[in-house]
Structure 1
Amino acid sequence: MNDTTPVPVFDYFRQVDLPTPTLRDDEVQSLFAETFGVEIDVQALGSQQDQNFRVFPRGSTEPLGVLKLSNPVFSEAEIDMQDAAASRVAERSPHVRIPRIVDGPHGPMSTWWDSSQGRIHARVIENIAGRTLTGSSYLAPAVVEGLGALAGAVSLALADFTHPASGRVLQWDLRHAARVIDTLLPLDPDAEVRGTVQRATDAARAALAPVADALPLQAGHFDVTDDNVLRAPGATVPDAVIDFGDVCASWRVGEIAVTVSSVLHHDGATPESAFPAIRAFDRARELGDDEITAFWPLVVLRGSVLVLSGRAQVRLDDANDYASGALEREFRILEQAASVPLPVLTAATRAALGRPRRSEPGWTGTPLLPPGRRVELDASTESPLNDAGAWLDAATLDDAALAALDAGAEIATVPAWRARLTGTTDPLPSTAETVPTDVLVWLAEPLLLDGDTRVDGDALIVTEDAEALTISGAAAAAASGTLPARTRLSVRRSVDGLVPPPRTTRALADAWREVAGDPGAALGLPPTAPAHDDSLQRRHEVLAEVQEHYYGVPPRIERGWRELLIDVEGRVYLDMVNNVASVGHAHPHVVAAGSRQMHLLNTNSRFHYRAIADYADRIAATLPDGFDTVFFVNSGSEATDLAIRLAMAATGRPDIVAMREAYHGWTYASDAVSTSIADNPFALETRPEWVHTVDAANSYRGRHRGADAVRYAPEAVAVIDGLAASGRRPAGMIAETYFGNAGGVALPDGYLREVYAAVRRHGGLAIADEVQVGYGRLGEWFWGFQQQDAVPDIVAVAKSIGGGHPLGAVITRREIGDRYRTQGYFFSSTGGSPVSSAIGMAVLDVIEQEGLQENARVVGGHLQRRLEELGERHDLVGAVHGSGLYLGLEFVRDRETLEPATTETAAICNRLLERGVIMQPTGDFQNVLKIKPPLVITRASVDVFVDALDRVLSTGF
Structure 2
Amino acid sequence: MQTTLTEAEVRSLLSSIKAPQLDLKPIADHVLDRYGLSGEWRQLGGEREQNYRLATAAGERFVVKIASLEEDEEGLIFQAKALEHIEQVDPAIQVPRVRRTLEDDLLSGIADGEGGKHAVRVLSFVAGETVMDLLSRRGFNLSTDDLLSLGAAQGRLARALQGFNHRGALRAMPWDLGNGLVLGDWLRDHIPDEIRQDVDRALERFAGSTLPALPGLRSQVIYNDFHESNVLVRAEPSLEVVGVIDFGDMVYGTVAQDLAVAVASFIHWSPEPVAAAAAIVRGYQMHMPLEAADLAVLKDLVLARLILQIGLVRYQAVVNGRNDQQLDELQSLYSAAVSRLAHIDNDAFVASMTPSVVPAPIPSPVVKQSSSDIGALISRRQSVLGETYTFYNEPLELVRGRGTKLFDASGTEYLDCYNNVANVGHCHPYVVEALARQAATLNTNSRYLHREILRLGERLTATLPEGLDTWIFVCTGSEANDLAVRIARSVTGNEGVIITENSYHGNTSVVAPLSLLEYDIKDKPGWVEAVPPPNVYRGIYRGAEADLGERYSGHVTEAASRLEARGPGAAALLIDSIFDGNGALVPPPDYMGLAFDKASRAGALCIADEVQMGFGRSGSHMWGFEAFGVRPDIVTMGKPMGNGHPIAALVTRRDIALEFQRRSGYFNTFGGNTVSTVVANATLDVLQGENLQGNAERVGAHLKGSLDGLIGTNELVGHVHGRGLFLGVELVVDRTSRAPAKLAARWVRERMKSLGVLVASTGPLGNIIKIRPPLAFSTADADRCLEALNTALSEVPPDLRIANSA
Q: Per-residue CA shift, 1:15-47, capped at 9, x if unaligned?
A: xxxxxxxxxxxxxxxxxxxxxxxxxxxxxxxxx
Map of 2:385 onto structure 1: 543
Cα RMSD of the aligned pairs, angstroms, is 3.4
Alignment of 1:918 onto 2:755: no
Correspondences of 1:147-226 after superposition (within 5 Å): none
Paired residues of 2:367 and 2:409 also in contact (CA < 8 A): no
- Higher RCO structure (Cα 8 Å, ≥6 apart): 2
Following superposition, the deviation at residue 738 of structure 1 comes to 1.6
| Alignment gaps of 5+ in structure 2 | 1-254, 257-273, 284-288, 295-353, 356-365, 798-806
Q: Per-residue CA shift, 1:486-521, capped at 9, x if unaligned?
A: xx99xxxxxxxxxxxxxx99479x9xxxxxxxxxxx
Among 622, 627, 645, the residue aligned to 1:787: 627
Bigger Rg, which one: 1
Among 931, 940, 952, the residue aligned to 2:771: 931
1:893 partner letter:
V
Correspondences of 1:374-523 after superposition (within 5 Å): 506=368
Map of 1:612 onto structure 2: 453
Following superposition, the deviation at residue 425 of structure 1 comes to 5.9
Which is worse superposed, 549-558 or 831-840?
A: 549-558
Map of 2:714 onto structure 1: 874
Map of 1:635 onto structure 2: 476
TM-score (structure 1 length as normaliser):
0.44
SS at match of 1:604: coil
SS at match of 1:732: strand
Following superposition, the deviation at residue 586 of structure 1 comes to 0.8
Following superposition, the deviation at residue 836 of structure 1 comes to 0.6
SS at match of 2:570: coil
1:685 partner letter:
K
Following superposition, the deviation at residue 921 of structure 1 comes to 0.9
Give, in whole Å, the separation in 2 of the partners of 1:585 and 1:876. 32
SS at match of 1:648: helix
Map of 1:946 onto structure 2: 786
Give, in whole Å, the separation in 1 of the partners of 2:444 and 2:768. 41
Paired residues of 2:527 and 2:568 also in contact (CA < 8 A): no
Paired residues of 2:583 and 2:721 also in contact (CA < 8 A): yes
Among 746, 766, 786, the residue aligned to 1:906: 746
Following superposition, the deviation at residue 856 of structure 1 comes to 0.5
Alignment of 1:825 onto 2:662: no
Q: Per-residue CA shift, 1:726-748, capped at 9, x if unaligned?
A: 66531111111221221211112
Map of 2:540 onto structure 1: 703
Give, in whole Å, the separation in 1 of the partners of 2:496 and 2:510. 11
Alignment of 1:649 onto 2:486: no
Among 554, 557, 573, the residue aligned to 2:398: 557
Alignment of 1:850 onto 2:687: no
Q: How many residues align?
A: 449
SS at match of 2:679: helix
SS at match of 1:735: strand
Paired residues of 2:498 and 2:556 also in contact (CA < 8 A): no
Give, in whole Å, the separation in 1 of the partners of 2:742 and 2:708. 20
**Pair 949,505 (structure 1): closer, same or farther in 2 beyond 3 Å:** farther
Following superposition, the deviation at residue 696 of structure 1 comes to 1.8
Paired residues of 1:698 and 1:745 also in contact (CA < 8 A): yes
Map of 2:677 onto structure 1: 837
Map of 2:653 onto structure 1: 813
SS at match of 1:838: helix
Give, in whole Å, the separation in 1 of the partners of 2:748 and 2:453. 44
Following superposition, the deviation at residue 718 of structure 1 comes to 3.3
Map of 1:863 onto structure 2: 703
Map of 2:111 onto structure 1: none
Give, in whole Å, the separation in 1 of the partners of 2:557 and 2:701. 33
Q: Per-residue CA shift, 1:931-954, capped at 9, x if unaligned?
A: 110001110111011011111112
1:697 partner letter:
P
Map of 1:296 onto structure 2: none
Following superposition, the deviation at residue 575 of structure 1 comes to 0.2
Following superposition, the deviation at residue 657 of structure 1 comes to 1.3
Map of 1:687 onto structure 2: 524
Give, in whole Å, the separation in 2 of the partners of 1:727 and 1:540. 44
Correspondences of 1:667-746 after superposition (within 5 Å): 667-676=508-517, 679-680=518-519, 682=520, 684-708=521-545, 709-710=548-549, 711-721=551-561, 723-724=563-564, 728-746=568-586
SS at match of 2:727: strand
Give, in whole Å, the separation in 2 of the partners of 1:932 and 1:743. 11
Map of 2:637 onto structure 1: 797
Paired residues of 1:861 and 1:883 also in contact (CA < 8 A): yes
**Pair 533,685 (structure 1): closer, same or farther in 2 beyond 3 Å:** closer
Q: Per-residue CA shift, 1:381-437, capped at 9, x if unaligned?
A: xxxxxxx99xxxx99xx99xx99xxxxxxxxxxxxxxxxxx999699xxxxxxxxxx
Give, in whole Å, the separation in 1 of the partners of 2:567 and 2:750. 51
SS at match of 1:779: coil
Alignment of 1:567 onto 2:411: no
Among 745, 752, 765, the residue aligned to 2:592: 752
Give, in whole Å, the separation in 1 of the partners of 2:570 and 2:291. 57
Give, in whole Å, the separation in 1 of the partners of 2:525 and 2:496. 10
Following superposition, the deviation at residue 820 of structure 1 comes to 2.5
Give, in whole Å, the separation in 2 of the partners of 1:688 and 1:823. 25
Paired residues of 2:369 and 2:410 also in contact (CA < 8 A): no
**Pair 726,549 (structure 1): closer, same or farther in 2 beyond 3 Å:** closer
| Alignment gaps of 5+ in structure 1 | 1-387, 404-421, 428-487, 490-503, 511-529
TM-score (structure 2 length as normaliser):
0.52
Following superposition, the deviation at residue 658 of structure 1 comes to 1.3
| Greater share of residues in helix | 2
Q: Per-residue CA shift, 1:125-166, capped at 9, x if unaligned?
A: xxxxxxxxxxxxxxxxxxxxxxxxxxxxxxxxxxxxxxxxxx
Following superposition, the deviation at residue 534 of structure 1 comes to 4.9
Q: Per-residue CA shift, 1:165-193, capped at 9, x if unaligned?
A: xxxxxxxxxxxxxxxxxxxxxxxxxxxxx
Give, in whole Å, the separation in 1 of the partners of 2:744 and 2:562. 41
Which is worse superposed, 706-715 or 595-604?
A: 706-715
2:544 partner letter:
A
Paired residues of 1:649 and 1:822 also in contact (CA < 8 A): no
Q: Per-residue CA shift, 1:847-882, capped at 9, x if unaligned?
A: 111111110010000000111111211111111011
1:794 partner letter:
I
Give, in whole Å, the separation in 2 of the partners of 1:548 and 1:424. 33
Give, in whole Å, the separation in 2 of the partners of 1:885 and 1:874. 22
Paired residues of 1:659 and 1:696 also in contact (CA < 8 A): yes
Paired residues of 1:767 and 1:792 also in contact (CA < 8 A): yes
2:768 partner letter:
V
Paired residues of 1:753 and 1:790 also in contact (CA < 8 A): yes
Paired residues of 1:630 and 1:812 also in contact (CA < 8 A): yes
Paired residues of 1:634 and 1:831 also in contact (CA < 8 A): yes
1:609 partner letter:
H
SS at match of 2:719: strand
Give, in whole Å, the separation in 2 of the partners of 1:719 and 1:825. 29
Following superposition, the deviation at residue 607 of structure 1 comes to 2.6
Give, in whole Å, the separation in 1 of the partners of 2:500 and 2:731. 23
Give, in whole Å, the separation in 1 of the partners of 2:419 and 2:643. 10
Among 589, 597, 605, the residue aligned to 2:438: 597
SS at match of 1:881: strand
SS at match of 2:510: helix
Q: Per-residue CA shift, 1:529-563, capped at 9, x if unaligned?
A: x9999543321220121x21111222211111110
